[in-house]
Structure 1
Amino acid sequence: MADALLQWAGVRKSYNLGLPSEAEVLHGIDLRLDAGEFVALVGPSGSGKSTLLNIVGLLERMTAGSYRLQGEEVGGLDDAALTLRRRRTLGFVFQFHHLLPAFSALENVTLPVLMAEGRVERSRLAQARELLAAVGLAAAMDKRPAQLSGGMQQRVAIARALVLQPALVLADEPTGNLDTATSDEVFALLRRIHAERGTSFIVVTHDPRLAARCDRRVELVDGRIARDERVGGSGRAGGQGG
């Protein structure tokens, strides 16, 4: 069996520890993701999807359990080490693109490079231009976000997520703010990037049409994995205790 890109064992997350309002929102999650997978994370509001994604993204810490990322246990890393690991391994696409309005599309794409490396070398700039061309924005590199449609802005955000060549992209409702036609175009772009580059994806979506176009669907209900199945194939169904 191939080495796991991501391996969770018994991951729990509680908020307000030690207070009367303490609440556990993830209850002993076991999850494995292999390199090259394209996974939909689905479930009702309040099921813990955003919390799960934030922990995968090293934006929040788990309360208990084991989290191995590319074979490294990351649960005990300090904040500085987590930041470096996040920049090196993970890319992020959100429902709202969070582009800087005063910056051009190209400048927005190179921001992660500037933050990680302190400057944008010529080779990195060429890579950013290549990515914008790959997402269909070769003619819009010098335009600011206000000059772009919603779908174009999300394409810039996708290019930005890929500029440091992450092994895993986390997409939280990446089409949730778009109309149906544009949503389909953006999702098709994610699938093309996955096919061409081998990048792994976890996509949170409420759209069953998009979830059906992923290779695997993980359903979270009340902080537990209720179902984990290959879409259109043999499933790995079943709940988790905890």
Structure 2
Amino acid sequence: MTDTVRHPPGPLIEIEGLRKTYNAGLPSEVEVLHGLALRVDAGEFIALMGPSGSGKSTLLNILGLLERMSAGSYRLQGEPVQHLDDTGLTLRRRQSLGFVFQFHHLLPAFSALENVTLPALMADGRVGPRQLARARELLDAVGLAHAMHRRPSELSGGMQQRVAIARALVMSPPLVLADEPTGNLDTASSDEVFGLLRRMHAERGVSFVVVTHDPRLAARCDRLVELVDGKIAHDGPIVA
């Protein structure tokens, strides 16, 4: 089974006036994102960088519909999403987004194959033959066909993260959000996992927004968005 999903060109994400405030109305109130504007188009591979505390993870969580913005507008594939209820947000997240985190969050009692099929199980209550075939195909694509029945404890850190990448892609999302996906790996494994993300982008047309603190990896992206003190300080193509 070969992945032939190709997502149409155009904006995946359009954000205007994004603000995020914690502890609103309390003495400890703090605004961490200050009126951001950001557009992510289909086919992009973006590095999101910035010093600790600049708001990178908060922004990624808002893009991923895991946190709500305090003010502003957010269109995901042309649909306004900022006013959706929790059920609506969950459905949009399942339809449009995949996630890869620094820690793989694989279920230890499940095999690699079972972990990859989890999004399908959560969405439909069952894993059908087509979804199972897709999960197998993705594990083969990330080089783990031989290990699909192993549990996470039987896999190296780099292999576990490759399972997480396959899981992020199993529902054919147009966009994957990755938060320090190589931050828990050694240099060799980091290069391997990042190379896999680039290959998935090239071969499958999936867009990526990748939070990283590593300038060496950011240089392998196509566009850099840099946050400083909750504002976008730079947004432009990577210059070799």
Same fold by TM (over 0.5)?
Answer: yes
Q: Secondary structure at the match of 1:17?
A: coil
Give the counterpart letter for 1:127 in structure 2: R
Equivalent residue number for residue 6 of structure 2: none
User: 1:236 — aligned with what?
Assistant: none
Report how many residues are paired: 232
State how far apart, in whole Å, the 1-side matches of 2:25 and 2:168 are. Answer: 37
The sequence identity of aligned pairs, in percent, is 77
Report SS of the residue matched to 1:174: coil
Superposed CA deviations along residues 71-106 of structure 1, whole A, max 9, x for unmatched, are 001001010000000001000000000000000000
1:212 alignment counterpart: 219
Q: Secondary structure at the match of 2:146?
A: coil
**Mapping 1:144-163, distance limit 5 Å:** 144-163=151-170
Equivalent residue number for residue 63 of structure 1: 70
The residue aligned with 1:51 is 58
Which one of the candidate residues 3, 12, 19 is aligned to 1:5?
12
Residue 120 of structure 2 corresponds to 113
**How do residues 1-242 of structure 1 correspond to structure 2 at under 5 angstroms?**
3-232=10-239
Distance across 2 between alignment mates of 1:37 and 1:117: 29
Three-state SS of the structure 2 residue aligned to 1:125 is helix
Q: Secondary structure of the equivalent of 2:66?
A: coil
Q: What is the CA–CA distance in structure 2 between the aligned matches of 1:86 and 1:16, rounded to whole Å?
A: 25
Which aligned runs of 4 or more in structure 1 are off by greater than 3 angstroms? Answer: none
Q: TM-score, normalised by structure 2?
A: 0.96
The code of the aligned residue for 2:158 comes to G
Q: Calculate the aligned-residue CA RMSD, in Å.
A: 0.7
Structure 2 unmatched ranges of 5 or more: 1-8
TM superposition shift of 1:3? 3.0
Q: With structure 1 as the length reference, what TM-score do the two structures score?
A: 0.95
